[in-house]
Chain A
């Protein structure tokens, strides 16, 4: 099998071939099959709309690749408004010489992720750039979803007394990518947690609509999102170190790399701020969903120390949690 050529992005014969032979078989649906420059459909509802670009390096990592990441990421961004994701667009920027076999592998996992999340890719675009002008493959996905329930889910909507819930153990995606990138190996492979969270959010909203804020802690990790919550809503947040789920292999890798799991990226986790009386019901619903099995209440929203996140440590001390600053650089000793 061949490699991507500049002509694959020229709009001519090879472009058509690329679309018909590779893209369409994976993404086949009535909207896309028309091969128009746009998709046309009706939406009668409040709509959530989002976009995100994916440039992850390495493009294949334990537990996933840039393709399922691009679908799940946009599905999750829509879900975090309480929306039901429906339609996605996908734009590809390919580097000349990129192996078509790898492209197919990525498309296959995009299809699988889209099927699982019950979304369809209704419009798309492909460009090819000269070798060295992009790094293998970049993907942009945009998506729209509909908000069916009367909810107001927003980072500035945390209420004093709310319980803070995390849907599972933290840090797996970041560590999976980092270990692959740096060529590190651990006895037990750490896999990315990349996953679509729309079914989890739907289950949570069925249990209660008293969900005030939702966010998936991607870059910057749990710590950065909580700090954003505290600032946006002008409230304090207290979390408890011993309640935060971290798998042994992740905490072990963090020890070695000198990283703090609170700041490591996730791609299949969410943080929720929930009205206290509804928190148990939401937690129960989450634990029944496969992406929320390890959900925990990790803290609460406080009236004191506005804009500040405090972590109560395992030994009874406390410390302030801030946003991630710059890149986490590996340390000397």
Chain B
């Protein structure tokens, strides 16, 4: 058992596809919340294997795609500060703000912006450059946030005074709630992200079944995982038995990773957050708690950029909420391409538009 190949086996996959066809009756709309699922679904061509009655909709689950323009502007303003080394995950480099992208500003203005693979790399840069101030673009869902929290915790322990973060982290359950409140979507069930759920546990999704009477299955990211999750969802829906189930049992528990979440809630607390294309979702963002406030780059540098409306001529907003599919946007594939993205959904590898563009609609 190596925990990868087994979940890509064609015999298992075929057997599950057959079972889905066998039990599927109603027209249903399922949303895969997470961009990693969107890409996995395209990569293995899952859409083409399902009965016509089952429609898969891509959700807002890519932390890059939902970062509003104002936050990108703040990042650029920070990178422009004297003696600042601005650090970021790679895919944030190409997200357009109202002033352009970090990538472009780096080239045009010679700003010291560096790609890191982990927040700990940013911390190391701070340790190695005591004469500079290092700011880290703290984006991500519950998958990434505990690691950032642990980094801030470490910086605090070490008494580091030249390390800061620009927190734009978001949490997944409030976004799902906002989608459920969007009546026109008419969603029947959710494929919930396995990695996020390793941290938050399946209990965090209880409201989906209890309050909204909708189905949810927490899924792994291999093709067999996703197919099995779809089967479990269809079974629940056909049997009118809305529950929260875990398909990704090899990693997810009902309680989640309490230790990691403990660190996260020590360092961060909920706040309202603006989601690009969607708008403000209550309690869906994270800000530093009082104890760690001194690591807030915006406060430290007194950054004040005007709030800009996320207006692009594209349909990213509707696409992020699952109201439209990427090819329905008139810019898709013409003006807006992965080389030259207009909206954020085309920037990240895990954005819906990028996935549609790269893998074609045949998936």
Interface residues in chain A, defined as those with a beta carbon under 8 Å from any beta carbon in chain B = 182, 242, 248, 251-252, 255, 258, 260, 310, 312-320, 322, 325-326, 328-333
Contact = CB atoms under 8 A, between A and B. Distances in A.
Q: What interface size band does chain B fall in?
A: 35 or more
A242 B9 CA distance: 10
A155 B43 CA distance: 26
Contacts of A255: 4
A310 B363 CA distance: 11
Contacts of A330: 89-91, 115, 117
A316 B339 contact: no
Residue among A312, A314, A317, A322 with most chain B CB within 10 A: A317
Interface string B283-307: 0000000000000000000000000
B42 to A, nearest CB: 6
Closest CB pairs A-B (n = 4): A317-B45, A320-B360, A315-B13, A329-B90
Nearest to B44: A313
Contacts of B348: 331-332
Contacts of B359: 319-320, 322
Contacts of A318: 45, 48, 362-363
A315 B224 contact: yes
A333 B36 contact: yes
Contact of A333 (B17, B45, B141): B141
Given A251-B4, A333-B141, A319 B42 contact: yes
A313 B223 contact: yes
A329 B45 contact: no
A175 to B, nearest CB: 15
B223 A333 contact: no
Contact of B43 (A310, A319, A329): A319
A332 B91 contact: yes
Contacts of B144: 332-333
Contacts of B49: 315-317
B185 to A, nearest CB: 24
Interface of A is mostly: loop
A317 B338 contact: no
Residue among A313, A330, A333 with most chain B CB within 10 A: A333
Contacts of A329: 90-91, 93-94, 115, 349
Interface in B64-96: 64, 89-94
A329 B43 CA distance: 18
B154 interface: no
A314 B13 CA distance: 9
B14 A316 contact: yes
Residue among B47, B48, B64, B362 with most chain A CB within 10 A: B362
Interface string B345-363: 0001110000001111011
18 contacts: A182-B117, A252-B4, A312-B45, A313-B43, A313-B44, A315-B13, A316-B10, A316-B13, A316-B17, A317-B49, A318-B48, A320-B358, A322-B360, A329-B90, A330-B115, A331-B89, A333-B141, A333-B143
A91 to B, nearest CB: 29
A314 B115 contact: no
Interface in B318-349: 337-339, 348-349
B8 A314 contact: yes
Contacts of A260: 43
A313 to B, nearest CB: 5
A331 B62 CA distance: 10
Nearest to A323: B358
B176 to A, nearest CB: 17
B45 A326 contact: no
Nearest to B359: A319
Given A325-B338, A332-B64, A319 B90 contact: no
Contact of A331 (B2, B42, B91, B362): B91
A315 B44 contact: yes
